[in-house]
Structure formats: C-alpha cells, structure tokens
Structure 1
Amino acid sequence: MFKKFITVTSSLALSVMCLTGCNQTTTTNKKLDKVTIAEVAHSVFYAPQYAAVTKGFFEEEGIEVDIINTSGADKTMSALISGEAQIGLMGPEASIYVYNQGSENYAVNFAQLTKTDGSFIVAREEMPDFTLEDLKGKEMLGGRAGGVPLMTLEYVLKKNGLTIGTNTEAGEVNVRTDVQFGVMAGAFAGGEADFTTAFEPTGTQMEEEKTGYIVASVGELATKAIGEVPYTAYSTTKDFMADNEDLIQRFTNALYKGQQWCKTASSEEIAEAMQPFFNDLSLNDLISVVDRYKSVDAWCETPLFTEESLNNLVDIMEEAGELDKAPVYNDIVNTDFANKAIENAK
C-alpha cells in the first residue's frame, strides 16, 4: 500500500528528458528558471502539459521544464519530498497519504490537469459488444494497491454490480495488484490474466502489436458512476510553495495557456504538438489517441481544483478502504494560483 512506502530518502532511477531544447535563455537573453517535474507516467493523457512546452508557454513565463518519468505515484512523491523534483504530477491521493501521516512539509496541490480516469480496459481479442458483465469470472491486472487507477476501476466494477474477489468460478472478478504498473502491458502480452488496463499510448501500441485490444474507457464509466475526479494534479511541498510563490504562479499561468490551447485545437494540432515527446508513434496514431481522450472529456479546461472533485476522490478511496481520515481541502489544495492565472488571462 502506498502510504506505507513513502520515504524522503529514496534514491530513484529515473528517466529524464529535456523538453525545451535545453535552452537556458529567452530571445531577450533573460535567464530561465529551471523546473523539474516528476510525472507519474509518460502518457498522451497529459497532453496540455506537453502542448504548454512545445507551444512555448512555459518559456513565455520564464521557465525551462525538465520532465522525470517516475512510473508510479509513490516514486513521484518521493522525488518531490526528497527535492529531486520541484513539482510532481500525480494522483492527489499521494498528497492525502502524506498529509495523513502528519508530515509538516506535505505536498499541496495547486493545479489540476485531468478530471477523469485515463485508462482503458484491454482484452485479448476484439470485443465490439463488450460490457462489464464480460468480466465476471475473469482475471484482470488492475495496478498498484492504493493508487487511483486501481481504486477507480474497483469503484466502477462495484457500482455496476460486480463482485471483486478470487473466486472466479462464482463469477467474481479477480483484480490483481501483484504486477507493477509499468510492466502490466508486458505481463499481459506474456499471458498474464484475461484483461488488463492501460493508458495511452500503451493501449494503441498493444493493438498494433496485436497483444491486446481496447474495449472500454474506465474514465467514461467513472464519470457516469461518480462525476469528475481530480485524477492527476500538480503539487509541490508546502515549504517550496511558500518560498517560490512567483515561480508557482508562472508555472500555473503556462499550464492554463496549454489547457486553453487544447480546448480549441484540433486533434491533429494537439498530436503535432506532442509528437516530439512520442516520436515512437506515428502522427496518425497520436491523432487516434487524442480522439480517445477527447471523447471521454479527460482534460481540464482550467487548473482549478474544486472541493467537489476532491470529495469524489475521497468517496472512491473510502470505498476502497484506503483512507484513514478525510483531508482538509484547504490544507492540501491551494486555488490561489489557478484563480489568478484565470483572472490574468481575461
């Protein structure tokens, strides 16, 4: 469980990418402030972030961005707390766990990026008439215990009348948590389980390799079951925020520009903006992936993290038995930067 594994001294083996052409200065020779983002996964799900980089919105705000792919919210939080990154992009459940541990320098969420689950249910064969009833008596790879992807999946299954357990002969759905998030696609391709979940572009890559086929959107099902959920948000430590308010504001300004640009851009334009970060995918594949996320209304149009959406996340966590106590909204969420970014853009 995530809350048992957060440490502030972890040494991480992280994949680092320079996402701004490694420019140190703007055209006016003004030095850029370098910010390292630890992202929970490298996914088209985070399109507004990548667009904010390639469209120059971060540079306009005097920021050079590096992204570290940590492959897990626990590792993302560890990178943030240990100072290996200044900003973390992950599910807010991670900040709730740290807050509930009583840490003084806990993570505060200041900008929301996505508002529903970004994963898809993947089957071994094409199933055009798939329904959740097809999961009865089957085994599926669900992700890490305590993580939002697993908790949301299980919430959706329960709300649709399915029983989670290991007795597949009795029709229970065996949702496995013993395979790490980053290797689930490979494990599935190797014969593990009947179904799995995958984010994009992994789902599309599985279809191209004929190792799996997307049959349903967990995000679409989750929105119907509970409404909007703050699936991924940007956070920083309480101390870093207090010492760097101007930097956090400029970061949020750039993100908002990316969100607004994605709101009106075509799927092809968004795909082209992201292609430098997904050069192993064709433009047509990226367009297809963008269409999928557009169809489930995955991206927030503003960085504002509402109390209502946090309450929905708390409901999911309580249903999963992963929450000791509900957090205080104003403690773990700061909306000042989002509100100011929106106001400044008017």
Structure 2
Amino acid sequence: MRKVLLVLTMAALIAATAMSFGCRPRTKVRDIVLSEVIHSIFYAPQYVALHKGFFLAEGLNVRLEVAQGADRGAAALLSGAAQVALFGSEAAIYTWQQGALNPIIAFALLCQRDGSFLVGRTPDPDFTWRDVVGRTIIGGRRGGVPQMVLEYVLNEHGVTPQGDVTIIQNIGLGATAAAFAEGTGDYVQLWEPAASRLVNAGAGYIVAAMGKYSGVLPYTAFHATKTYMRENPDVILGFTRAIYRAQRWVQTTPAAEIAATIQPSFPDMALADMTAIIARYKELGVWATNPLIPREAFDHLQNIMLAAGELSSKAPFADVVNTEIAERVVNERR
C-alpha cells in the first residue's frame, strides 16, 4: 500500500509541476533545432524560455544554432536543418517574392524595434545623424533588415546612403566588431554584447540607439516553413506558448534577475554589464509584449524594403504571416 501511495504522490507532483508551467502533462519530448540569426542579448526572452524551462514544459527540447545571417537561417529552414528560425521577416518576404513552393512563414514576434547601436571612435553626447556625412559606416548585408533600417534612418534624417555616407556591406555579422577595432570605418552598427565589449575595451563609444529611430516592425520573429507548420501544429503551438510566457516574465522582472537567468548563454559576460544592457533594451522597448505580429508593423517593414529597392511589390500579409497561433496563445491567458 505504501508503494501505491508513493506512486500516486509522485504522479500528483508531476502533474502539479506541469500545471504550474501553464501546460498539460506531456509524455513525449520533441527535439527541435532553433536557428538564431546571431547570438545576442537582444534576444533575451528567447533565452529566458530556454533557461526557465518554458520550452521543456511544452514538451520541446530546443537546441540553439547560430546562423550568422537571416539568409542562412532561411536556408536552414528550407533544407530541414532547423525547424524554427529567428531572423528578420524580410527573409520570409523574399521567399514569397521568389515564388517558393514551401514558403517561410512568420508566426511569433520577439523584437519589435531595432536592437543595434551605432558605435563611433570618439565620445559624442551631442551626436546627430548629420555627423556621419563624409564618413564610413560598417553596416550589414545588403537586403538584410539591419542594413535597410539603417538606410531608412539615414534617409529620414536627410542623409543619402552611399552618397553622403559610405556604408560597407560585405563584412559578415560576426566580423564587424573586429574589423572596426582593427581600424576599418568611422562607425559600426553592432548588437549587444558586441557593442559593450568594444566600449569596455576602449575601442569605441555608443553614439546612437537604432531602436529610437526604427519604428515598430517585425525586426526579429520566429519562422518555420509552411509545410512544417501544417505537419507539426503542436510544436508551433507549444513553442509560441513558451515564448509568450517568457515575454510576460521579462516585462515584469527586473533587469538584474533577467541577466542572472540568461547568463549561462553568455558565460564570458559580467553580470553587471548584462544587467546594464538589458535595462537599456527595456527602456528602448525593443521586446514585443506578446507574439502577435501587427499588420501595420509588417507594412512598415515592407515600406522600408521598397525604399531600399529590395522589393518589387508588397507581399499579402496572410501569405507571409500566420497570426492564428499567436492569437490562440494570447487568448488562452485572458
């Protein structure tokens, strides 16, 4: 009888734990590969979902891989090397524009503003965008959302890209900080923790936060192929639940606690530096409060792409974005 009671007690504890995570008990764990465009504190809610066990609570064993570019992340989805990928939704629009038979679909928003910073060689507390005229900026890959947003911001401030200012576009995302430190360019566009590492090394100074100027757009969202979403709706639903739970937690949690939670993903970063970075990102409002991708934000992205000359016509919202899953997840909490 004591053995029976012990088994029943353990079963009750397992069920209670599952319920405490806001999900139903699961007997099967699914392994999925999540490709992230770069490894950055900018994606803090994603690491929260990983380290707080939110993915596992939904029956998902998530393994992260770094793509070093949205184009490579999209390729990982199309080849089946990854099941979910985090990158700017411009890559999904490109697959639509190319008439892909198995298009890439954006299903959950993570970052709603640009999370990069413009880093210069000298302190400039009175920086204006006119200061870059006649200078050289190390930017991103042509056609990528970071590069197109940079061009959008420059144009909005009366500075013509590749006219008033030279933008280097042929250095890989993982090499831009090193190139700047070695003397290339007058400014460089960087994400955290790369920006703070340059500052701490005395090799650069943050002069502008791009998130102040980008507007709201699906700067970084989670994507999967249309076929994978159709064949694995439980995976996409559970993944979105985990992300939404992380988004809510981040919104109500102090920066220091967030930093301590995600530090295993950045073991070489000092906790104080991570806390300052997260506080800055929270102040900028870069993180979406829920996974829904607003139509107006998607339109803003496509307008930026049109202005950059990278899009011939706008993609229909429903052809590139799936809101049904995010809506279901958000409504579950009401």
Q: TM-score, normalised by structure 2?
A: 0.91
The corresponding residue for 1:320 is: 308
Query: 2:111 touches 2:286 (CA, 8 Å); kept in 1?
Result: yes
The corresponding residue for 2:273 is: 285
The reply on whether 1:294 has 2:286 as its aligned counterpart is: no
Letter aligned with residue 195 of structure 2: G
Aligned pairs for 1:164-179 (under 5 A) are 164-166=161-163, 172-179=164-171
User: What is the CA distance between 1:31 and its match in structure 2?
Assistant: 3.2
Q: Write out per-residue CA displacement over residues 260-291 of structure 1, whole angstroms, 9 at most, x where no aligned residue.
A: 00010000011111101001101000001101
Aligned pairs for 1:59-98 (under 5 A) are 59-98=56-95
User: What is the CA distance between 1:199 and its match in structure 2?
Assistant: 0.3
3-state secondary structure, aligned to 1:288: helix
The corresponding residue for 2:185 is: 193
Provide the rounded CA distance (Å) in 1 between the counterparts of 2:237 and 2:118: 37
Q: Which has the larger radius of gyration?
A: 2
1:30 to 27, 40, 49: 27
Query: 2:26 touches 2:59 (CA, 8 Å); kept in 1?
Result: no
Provide the rounded CA distance (Å) in 2 between the counterparts of 1:64 and 1:180: 30
User: Runs of 4+ in structure 1 displaced over 4 angstroms?
Assistant: 26-29
Provide the rounded CA distance (Å) in 1 between the counterparts of 2:122 and 2:318: 46
The reply on whether 1:240 has 2:237 as its aligned counterpart is: no
The corresponding residue for 2:147 is: 150
1:112 to 109, 114, 135: 109
The corresponding residue for 1:23 is: none
User: Which blocks of at least 5 consecutive residues in structure 1 are unaligned?
Assistant: 1-25, 167-171
Provide the rounded CA distance (Å) in 2 between the counterparts of 1:179 and 1:240: 32
The reply on whether 1:138 has 2:135 as its aligned counterpart is: yes
Provide the rounded CA distance (Å) in 2 between the counterparts of 1:160 and 1:129: 15
Query: 2:68 touches 2:172 (CA, 8 Å); kept in 1?
Result: no
User: Which blocks of at least 5 consecutive residues in structure 2 are unaligned?
Assistant: 1-16, 19-24
Q: TM-score, normalised by structure 1?
A: 0.88
Q: Write out per-residue CA displacement over residues 6-26 of structure 1, whole angstroms, 9 at most, x where no aligned residue.
A: xxxxxxxxxxxxxxxxxxxx9
3-state secondary structure, aligned to 1:149: helix
User: What is the CA distance between 1:29 and its match in structure 2?
Assistant: 8.6
The reply on whether 1:339 has 2:327 as its aligned counterpart is: yes
2:213 to 197, 215, 221: 221
Provide the rounded CA distance (Å) in 2 between the counterparts of 1:244 and 1:221: 37
Provide the rounded CA distance (Å) in 2 between the counterparts of 1:326 and 1:221: 23
The corresponding residue for 1:7 is: none
1:184 to 173, 176, 182: 176
Provide the rounded CA distance (Å) in 1 between the counterparts of 2:116 and 2:103: 28
Provide the rounded CA distance (Å) in 2 between the counterparts of 1:35 and 1:344: 24
Q: Write out per-residue CA displacement over residues 3-54 of structure 1, whole angstroms, 9 at most, x where no aligned residue.
A: xxxxxxxxxxxxxxxxxxxxxxx99893311111011000011111100111
Query: 2:37 touches 2:86 (CA, 8 Å); kept in 1?
Result: yes
1:274 to 262, 272, 284: 262
Provide the rounded CA distance (Å) in 2 between the counterparts of 1:246 and 1:30: 14
The reply on whether 1:262 has 2:250 as its aligned counterpart is: yes
Provide the rounded CA distance (Å) in 1 between the counterparts of 2:323 and 2:246: 18
The structure-2 alpha-carbon separation of the partners of 1:298 and 1:34, relative to structure 1 and needing over 3 Å to count, comes to same
User: What is the CA distance between 1:84 and its match in structure 2?
Assistant: 0.4
Letter aligned with residue 54 of structure 1: H
Letter aligned with residue 60 of structure 2: I
Letter aligned with residue 274 of structure 2: L
Provide the rounded CA distance (Å) in 2 between the counterparts of 1:88 and 1:56: 19
1:102 to 89, 99, 103: 99
Letter aligned with residue 34 of structure 2: I
Q: Write out per-residue CA displacement over residues 314-333 of structure 1, whole angstroms, 9 at most, x where no aligned residue.
A: 01001100002211100111
The corresponding residue for 2:13 is: none
User: Aligned residues, how many?
Assistant: 312
Letter aligned with residue 58 of structure 2: E
CA-based RMSD of the aligned residues comes to 1.3
Provide the rounded CA distance (Å) in 1 between the counterparts of 2:304 and 2:149: 6
Provide the rounded CA distance (Å) in 2 between the counterparts of 1:234 and 1:244: 15
